[in-house]
Amino acid sequence: MNASRDVVFTFSYETYADAVARGMMRPPDRILQTLLAADEVDGLLVANPFRSLPSVLARRLRGTEPHFPAAPRRALVTPTRLARTDPVDVGRIVRSYRRYDALLRERARSLGIRRPAVITTNPLAAAFCPFAWSSTVTYFGRDDWLSSAARHAYWPAYRAAYRQIREAEIAVAAVSQEIIDRIDPLGPRAVIPNGVDPAEWRGAPPPAPGWLAEIPTPRAVYAGTLDQRLDIEGIAALAADRPALQIVLAGPAPDPEYMAALQGIPNVHVHGGMGRRELVATLRNCQLSLVAHRRTALTEAMSPLKVYEYLAAGLPVVSVDLGPIRRADDRILIAGSTAEMGPLTDRALAGDGMTEDERLAFIDRHSWASRHEAVLSLALRSGLLHRSEEFLPAA
């Protein structure tokens, strides 16, 4: 990785604007930040997924698109079509992504980008874009899309995509070994768990946000999207079992009805989504953290970002039994279910916790910078991609 390389990076179903709006905090966003700053990267084309032409024109007229740090041989592209969503039929999906490939190829060519290393966070792009104009292709998996109930209609396409990724020997980097195992790639692979930004977590704890300061201690926090992954029945049982424990659920709730069962429980406190500074201040002013997930095929393949942020904040962690979490840190206390966490929360609160030296050492060891050394090593590997038509699915 001595010489600089040209790179094409594609988002999956969200855009650069979405990444900016959430504070560049998800793994694909962090990879993009690394690519923008890396000395090893020369030309860089960043590609949004397909978006509907009317909505793109409307946003441009409103002037709501965030600034992209463009430079010579660096640009952001948003391919457009009339429909925003992908078709469901596998054959139509293949044709759609071949068109996506052609649009990216032409934009790369206009920037003088030749034989780039492609890094895509979309399994359908990794599988169905020919990318014959690239040198290497690497798929980065942050979730097992084939286990996502929200995208059930696309499961046949994901099955075909995983098979294509395997047979074409496309490189796979994933946040968990479980995702690697489910794809079973024949090409290069690497497990690259989530990490933390040291600059966010070093130093003395900031003051507690006003809403949090009003909640008595001890506070046990769950931070993240409050959706079907969250075991709300288990939360209710834990709250009843430990009435003195104040359970703080902090994050956006896409479906408020899903959270309705927790309303009226006096020691359960629900707070909406927040920016990065408020999140850091919240975690550093709690006494305990929870991974209160349901055990599903999706959650069993996740590398929850929240676990690394909990530990960066110096919090003891009580979690349900998920493989990627067991491998994250041996200080994590594992419960059979959320409802059974009570004795472990007592143990965690009675313990000494992490020392400041241990906390800082954890932050340095699990920094995004250290994670992305492995990403770049895999993605910018030497070699030339050979994807003859015999390896591409029929359109």
pLDDT in tens, 314-323: 999 999 998 8
Q: Which segment of 5-14, 33-42, 77-86, 248-257 scores lowest on mean pLDDT? A: 77-86
pTM: 0.86
Contacts of 342 (CB under 8 A, 6+ apart): 238, 241, 242
Asked if residue 162 and residue 76 are part of one domain, the reply reads yes
147 plus 72 within the same structural domain: yes
209, 274: one domain: yes
- Same structural domain, 360 and 380: no
- Range of lowest pLDDT (212-216, 252-256, 272-276, 323-327): 323-327
For residue 292, give the CATH number of its domain: 3.40.50.2000
Q: What mean pLDDT value characterizes the chain?
A: 91
Calculate mean pLDDT across residues 59-72.
86
Please indicate, yes or no, whether residues 205 and 89 belong to a single structural domain of this protein: no
Mean pLDDT of 274-302: 92
| 104-129 average pLDDT score | 96
Interaxial angle between packed helices 232-241 and 342-350, expressed in degrees from 0 to 180 and rounded to the nearest 10: 60
Distances (CA, A) of 183 to 92, 155, 204: 22, 13, 42
The per-residue pLDDT for 272 is 87
User: In the prediction, which pLDDT does 391 show?
Assistant: 41
- Residue 384: what pLDDT? 52
Query: Is 392's pLDDT higher than 80?
Result: no
Q: Residue 378 pLDDT more than 60? A: yes
Residue 64 sits in the same domain as residue 191: yes
> Are 214 and 343 within one domain?
yes
- Domain hosting residue 306, numbered range: 198-366
pLDDT in tens, 213-255: 999 999 999 999 999 999 999 999 999 999 999 999 999 998 9
Domain identity same for 90 and 182: yes
Give the DSSP H/E element, type plus range, for residue 290.
strand 288-291
Instruction: For residue 178, give the nearest of 42, 68, 323 by alpha carbon.
Output: 323
pLDDT of residue 381: 87
pLDDT at residue 383, as a whole number: 60
Do residue 54 and residue 147 come from a single domain? yes
Structural domain total, the chain: 2
Peptide bond into 188 cis (omega under 30): no
The 3-state DSSP composition of the chain as helix, strand, coil percent (nearest 5) reads 45, 15, 40
Q: Are residues 186 and 221 in the same domain?
A: no
Residues 24, 128, single domain; the answer is yes
